[in-house]
């Protein structure tokens, strides 16, 4: 297996080296940056000394995003490491929050455990954002068996690792999965992070799975975003009955993905509409705030029903109160609400979080190739327009994912689906033409 991997890696290296001698036009189309010094050595994990990418050197608004061609190439340091050439990445609301410093305290501890002793132990900067990647394996550690150099893969990048808005990213084998064959890299990049987040919430916290979801009633609040659009399709593939809250303009999109019932959350009687429905087995809350109390009252009492929220105080608390106090306060809040709801109505109150899971993405890949799950891409941006991609996402009212093409592709099928789902096509085009907000 090692010799086969080495031969495949050598062939891939030769392919990359040949590109360097091609014309400038071919290089640009392939996503290579001519001004970045390339020192290709015999070691696959040291393909070059630097790479282009977008970094932040401090927390702040969109102005902190900086393009550079001097990022050290991530190397294969562990037997389980997989180095990936990034073809496409996508943005999540978490990227915007992290750009502003969200979760900095706890994430820094995850990156540098010794930082718990003081601020002088390691720095997160320069920090590369981007939580999704679709690309091609360049190199693997000696114990990697699931993928090999040359394989097309996708993955969700954990928030404590350097992200995908660069030419290369290195992850562990457990975090990586084979990309669906039926979709482009741009489409594939829209799925991994929301898939891992939704699966963690629905399965680990919500107690659902393929074999136990038939005829279960599930409510998804904020259903037109990345996690929502993925969850609708997954739950329908599992046989669940899905109700979604979203704005009126997103109704066509979520119904097109399979939602059985849709409630416009901006309607004056939105709460009354939900309260008149049959009670739910599971609520997946992407909104939080005032929605929480309403959603808890919509669950079937004394039946093991579960409320799962992705809006938790853990990271904000550790940022504002410090590591120990923040974790204690968050834990106390979770325990209090869990006890209160189990006593008052037999309802389980739980938090949902992203969890890396390459094997789960293998299952998702098969569902995509079977046509059960469609990548929902609202907008695509070239690698030169990463700040504009952030601005687009920051405007809110997402209809799927915002993708960054690190290597250019021409596939627009998912964006066409989103356009067709708008109640008013002219409104979609207007939103696409509107200048992005300035931050």
Do 204 and 166 fall within a single domain? no
Within a domain: residue 28? Answer: no
**Which of 298, 330, 351 lies at the terminal end of a domain, its last residue?**
351
Q: How far apart are CA 319 and CA 329, in angstroms?
A: 12
Same domain, 54 and 72: yes
User: How many domains, in total, are found in the chain?
Assistant: 2
pLDDT of residue 326: 97
Whether 131 and 60 map to the same domain: the answer is yes
Question: Is 172 a domain residue?
Answer: yes
| Per-residue model confidence (pLDDT) at position 426 | 55
CB 407 within 8 A of CB 167: no
pLDDT at residue number 19: 38
Is position 160 within any domain? yes
Do 212 and 109 sit in the same domain of this protein? Answer: no
List C-alpha distances in Å: 416 to 167, 182, 234, 342, 422. 27, 17, 21, 45, 10
Residue 271 lies in a domain: yes
Per-residue pLDDT of the chain (439 residues; tens, 9 = 90+): 444 444 444 444 444 444 333 333 332 333 333 334 333 333 344 447 899 999 999 999 999 999 999 999 999 999 999 999 999 999 999 999 999 999 999 999 999 887 766 666 778 999 999 999 999 999 999 999 999 999 999 999 999 999 999 999 999 999 999 999 999 999 999 999 999 999 999 999 999 999 999 999 999 999 999 999 999 999 999 999 999 999 999 999 999 999 999 999 999 999 999 999 999 999 999 999 999 999 999 999 999 999 999 999 999 999 999 999 999 999 999 999 999 999 999 999 999 999 999 999 999 999 999 999 999 999 999 999 999 999 999 998 878 899 999 987 544 444 454 455 555 555 545 544 443 332 2
Establish if 412 belongs to a structural domain: no
Of 309, 242, 251, the residue nearest 281 (C-alpha): 242
208 lies in the same domain as 129: no
Alpha carbon distances (Å) from 178 to 17, 196, 349, 405: 25, 14, 34, 19
Residue 97 lies in a domain: yes
Cβ proximity of 66 and 55 under 8 Å: yes
CATH code assigned at 152: 3.90.180.10
d(CA 103, CA 160): 10
Domain identity same for 56 and 138: yes
Q: What is the DSSP letter of 58?
A: S
45 and 172 inside one domain: yes
pTM: 0.84
Pairing status of strand 241-246 against strand 261-264: parallel
Q: Residues 295, 269: one domain?
A: yes
Same-domain pairing of 159 and 281: no
Do you find a cis peptide bond into 109, omega within 30 degrees of 0?
no
Nearest Cα to 41, choosing from 9, 3, 8, 1? Answer: 9
Looking at 166, 191, 216, the residue that finishes a domain is: 191
SS3 state of residue 155? strand
Decide: helix, strand or coil at residue 233. Answer: helix
Considering 323, 351, 379, which residue would you say is the last residue of a domain? 351
In 3D, which of 110, 174, 136 has the Cα closest to residue 47? 136
Quote the radius of gyration of the chain (alpha carbons, Å): 22
3-state DSSP assignment of residue 256: helix
Q: Does any domain span residue 376?
A: no
For residues 219 and 106, membership in a common domain is answered with no
**CA–CA separation, 191 and 134 (whole Å):** 9
Query: Are 353 and 138 a contacting pair, CB within 8 Å?
Result: no
> CATH number for the domain including 277?
3.40.50.720
Containing domain of residue 50, as a range? 2-20+36-191
Q: What is the DSSP letter of 157?
A: P
* Burial of residue 372, with CB atoms counted within 10 A of its CB: 0-12 exposed, 13-18 middle, 19 or more buried: middle
Assess if residue 390 is contained within a domain: no
Looking at the structure, tell me whether residues 6 and 87 fall in a common domain: yes
Tokens, residue 381: 């941006």
Statement to judge: residues 143 and 261 lie in one domain: no
**Rounded CA gap, 209 and 83, in Å?**
31
């Amino acid at each position: 297996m090692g010799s086969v991997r080495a031969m495949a890696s050598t062939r891939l290296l030769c392919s990359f080296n040949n590109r360097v001698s091609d014309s400038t036009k071919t290089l640009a189309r392939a996503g290579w940056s001519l001004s970045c010094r390339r020192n290709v050595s015999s070691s696959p994990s040291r393909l070059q000394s630097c790479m282009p990418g977008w970094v932040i050197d401090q927390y702040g608004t969109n102005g902190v995003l900086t393009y550079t061609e001097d990022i050290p190439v991530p190397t294969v340091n562990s037997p389980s490491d997989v180095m990936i050439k990034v073809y496409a990445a996508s943005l999540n609301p978490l990227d915007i929050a992290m750009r502003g410093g969200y979760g900095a305290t706890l994430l820094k501890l995850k990156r540098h455990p010794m930082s718990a002793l003081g601020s002088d132990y390691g720095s997160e900067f320069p920090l590369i954002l981007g939580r999704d990647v679709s690309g091609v394996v360049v190199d693997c550690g000696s114990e990697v068996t699931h993928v090999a150099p040359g394989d097309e893969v996708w993955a969700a990048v954990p928030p404590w690792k350097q992200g995908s808005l660069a030419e290369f990213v290195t992850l562990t084998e457990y975090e990586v999965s084979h990309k669906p064959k039926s979709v482009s890299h741009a489409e594939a990049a829209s799925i991994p992070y929301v898939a891992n987040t939704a699966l963690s919430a629905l399965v680990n916290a919500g107690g659902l799975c393929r074999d136990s979801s038939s005829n279960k009633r599930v409510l998804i609040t904020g259903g037109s975003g990345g996690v929502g659009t993925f969850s609708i399709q997954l739950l329908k593939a599992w046989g669940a009955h899905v109700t979604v809250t979203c704005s009126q303009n997103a109704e066509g999109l979520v119904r097109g993905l399979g939602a059985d019932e849709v409630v416009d959350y901006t309607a004056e009687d939105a709460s009354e509409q939900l309260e008149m429905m049959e009670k739910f087995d599971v609520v997946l809350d992407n909104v939080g705030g005032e929605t929480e109390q309403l959603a808890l009252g919509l669950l079937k009492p004394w039946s093991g029903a579960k409320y799962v929220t992705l809006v938790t105080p853990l990271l904000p608390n550790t940022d504002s109160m410090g590591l120990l106090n923040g974790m204690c306060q968050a834990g106390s809040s979770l325990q209090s609400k869990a006890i209160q709801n189990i006593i008052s109505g037999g309802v389980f109150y739980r938090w949902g979080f992203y969890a890396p899971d390459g094997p789960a993405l293998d299952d998702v890949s098969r569902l995509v190739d079977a046509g059960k799950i469609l990548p929902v891409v609202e907008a695509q941006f070239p690698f030169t327009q990463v700040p504009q991609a952030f601005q687009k996402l920051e405007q809110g009212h997402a209809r799927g994912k915002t993708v960054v093409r690190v290597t250019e592709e021409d596939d627009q099928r998912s964006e066409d689906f989103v356009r067709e789902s708008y109640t008013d096509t002219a409104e979609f085009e207007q939103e696409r033409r509107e200048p992005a907000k300035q931050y």
